[in-house]
Amino acid sequence: MQTDSTYTQKELALLLKDRNNSAFAWLYDHYSGALYGFIVEIVSNTEMATDVLQKVFVSAWKNIQHYDADKGSLFTWLLRMAHQASTDLVRSSRNSNDGNQNHQSALKPTGDGNELNATYLGNILEKLETGDRVIFDMIYFKGYRPEEIARMQSISAGAVQSSIRNVLIRLREILK
């Protein structure tokens, strides 16, 4: 559903909190593609990514009253929910050892315009130092916790946290 309206972040948040269906449709139309591209990179399965995306938007609708514009944009809020839902799915799948999902190679979205999002993200990540990129990938796309990475990489948990902080600073510089 495409709508012709445009909203400021403040207007959109207020309309969503008032349960405005048009504002929610606008939110979905403008953010779902980028979120889907992000989710599919983590869960490595387009069908599961679609389910996670749906859960994120249902959660957003149910929890919009908890959104705080002082803590970030609506997109950032949705991205955090998408990351949490995606990594929870990956962890539960990894913990169940069902073998149905390969976490080492992410499927790229196909045919719906999200290739640009995955390519754009890949180009940004290539600008990171190799060690930092590996840790970033393990945390954000494979769902490992910092303590797990420290054990797997034979480094301290502090080094993992430092790497994460460096990556976030570097990404902020790249995206400016």
Where residue 85 sits, what CATH number does that domain have? 1.10.1740.10
Q: Is residue 148 part of a domain?
A: yes
Residue 70 sits in the same domain as residue 151 = no
In a domain, 118, yes or no: no
Q: What is this structure's pTM?
A: 0.57
Segments forming the whole domain that contains residue 33: 1-113
In a domain, 26, yes or no: yes
Query: 161 and 83 in one domain?
Result: no
Which CATH number covers residue 141?
A: 1.10.10.10
Question: Which long-range contacts (C-beta less than 8 Å, at least 24 apart) are formed by 85-89?
Answer: 85/39, 85/52, 85/55, 85/56, 85/59, 86/38, 86/39, 86/42, 86/43, 86/49, 86/52, 86/143, 87/42, 87/140, 87/143, 88/143, 89/43, 89/48, 89/52, 89/143
* One domain for residues 30 and 105: yes
Per-residue confidence in pLDDT tens, the chain, 176 aa? 444 578 888 899 999 999 999 999 999 998 998 899 889 888 888 889 999 999 999 999 999 999 988 888 888 899 889 988 988 888 887 766 544 444 333 333 334 444 445 566 667 777 778 888 888 878 777 777 888 888 888 899 888 888 888 888 887 777 66
- Same domain as 106, residue 142: no
Query: Does the residue 120 lie in any domain?
Result: no
Domain boundary residue among 113, 135, 158?
Answer: 113
* Total structural domains within the chain: 2
